Amino acid sequence: MLLFAIAPTAAAAPYPTGPVTMTAGAGPGSGFDLTIRSVVDALQAERIVNVPLPVQNRPGNSGSDFLAAMVEQYRGADDQLSVASLATMMNQIRGVSRYGYRDVTMIARLMTEYFVVVTTPASPYQNLTDLMAAVRADPNRVTVGAAPDDEAPFDLLVSAAGGDPRATRYVAHEGGGEQTAALLGGEVEVAIGGVSEFVDQIRSGQLRGLGVLSEDRLPGLDLPTAREQGLDVTLANWRGLYGPPAMPQYAVDYWRQALATMVQTPTWKGIAERSGFVTTFMVGDELQAFLADTQADAEAAYRVA
C-alpha cells in the first residue's frame, strides 16, 4: 500500500469554505473531462471534500486556452483546479501554447494512461496490421480522428510500419466524445486517444479496438498490443491536477493531502479499473523530477520528428 505524509501548512482561516471550480480544458468525453469528473466523483463519494466542486468544460486547443486563462486571470486564487497531461507539454513544445507546466502550480500526478486505436464494427480494418497496410499504401485513403497532441503516437505507428507519418490524413477532434461522434457519423475511419476515452464504447461493442500502445494487454480490456502485431510502439500519457500560479501554500497542501487520501479509496480504485488507467500518484520533489524528465524527453522526441 502506498502511504503519503504531507505536512500541512497553517491557513489564516479554515479552507475550503466555498466552492472550488474544477475545469476540464476540453469537451465532454475527453481525457481531461473524464479525469476531473472522476476526481470529483471520488472526493464526494468518499466525503473527503465537503464543499461544492462544480465541473465546467472550457475547450480550446487541447487545454491550452484554459491554461492561459489560469495563468492570466486566476493568479493567486485558491478556488480553481484543472487537469494537466502530456498534452500540456506538447502544446508548448509545438508552439500552440505560450505556457506550460512551469507557469502554474502543479498539485499532483494522478495516473498513467495508454493510447488505443479504435474504429467502428463495420470497418474493414480488423487490426493494426490491416490499418497500417492501408495507410502505407495510400495515406489519403484513411481519415484519422485525433487531438493535435495525440497525432504523435499514431505517427509512431505509421513509422514503425514503414510509412510516412507526414502524409497521414488527420481530422482534428479534441477528445473521445467528439471522436466517437465522428466515427459513428462517418467523418473519420479510425481514431486514437486514451483508453478511458473509448473503453465504454469498446466494451459495449459500439466501437472496435484495434490495438493498445501498452507493454502488455490491459486487465479487463482484451485488446492486442501494437507489439503483438509487429509494431514496436509503446506510449503512455500522464494526467494530474494543477492550480493557478502563486496558489496559496495552504491550498496546495490541502489538495495534495485530499488527493493522496482519494487514490487509496475503493471508489477511486474502482474508477481506475473501469477506465483502464493506472494510478501513479506523485507530489513534491518526485513530481517535479518526473515533469522535468518528461518535458526533456518530449522535446527530444519532437526535434527528432
- For the domain spanning 114-229, the CATH number is 3.40.190.10
pLDDT value for 246? 98
Q: Is the pLDDT of residue 7 over 90?
A: no
Residue 253 host element (H or E):
helix 249-262
Tell me how far apart the alpha carbons of residues 80 and 70 are, in angstroms, rounded to a whole number: 8
Q: Is the pLDDT of residue 8 over 50?
A: no
Strands, E assignment, 91-146: 105-119, 143-146
167 — pLDDT class (breaks 50, 70, 90):
very high
Across-strand partners of 143?
A: 169
The CB density around residue 126, as the number of other CB atoms within 10 Å, is: 11
115 — pLDDT class (breaks 50, 70, 90):
very high
What residue segments make up the domains of the chain, in order of their start? 21-111+237-304, 114-229
Q: Is the pLDDT of residue 1 over 50?
A: no
283 grid coordinates = 507530489
- Average pLDDT of the segment spanning 52-74: 96
Q: Is the pLDDT of residue 173 over 70?
A: yes
pLDDT value for 23? 98
Read off φ and ψ for residue 238, nearest 5 degrees.
-110, 150
Q: Is the pLDDT of residue 239 over 60?
A: yes
Q: What is the pTM of this model?
A: 0.83
pLDDT: which is higher, 152 or 271: 271
- Average pLDDT of the segment spanning 77-90: 96
Residue type, 229: Q
Domains 21-111+237-304 and 114-229 equal at CATH topology level: yes
Query: In the CATH hierarchy, which top-level class contains the domain 21-111+237-304?
Result: alpha beta
Angle of CA points 299, 300, 303, to nearest 5°: 85
pLDDT: which is higher, 157 or 3: 157
Q: Is the pLDDT of residue 78 over 60?
A: yes
69 — pLDDT class (breaks 50, 70, 90):
very high
Cα diameter, the chain: 65
Q: What is the DSSP string of 16-81?
A: --S--EEEESS-TTSHHHHHHHHHHHHHHHTTS--S---EEE--STTTHHHHHHHHHH-TT-SSEE
pLDDT tens for each residue of 191-221: 999 999 999 999 999 999 999 999 999 988 8
298 — pLDDT class (breaks 50, 70, 90):
confident
Query: What Cα–Cα distance (Å) separates residue 215 from each residue in 75, 107, 234, 258, 276?
Result: 40, 28, 6, 31, 14
pLDDT value for 222? 84
- Average pLDDT of the segment spanning 2-19: 64
pLDDT value for 305? 54
Average pLDDT of the chain is 92
Please give the share of the chain, as a percent, with pLDDT higher than 70.
Answer: 94
pLDDT value for 153? 87
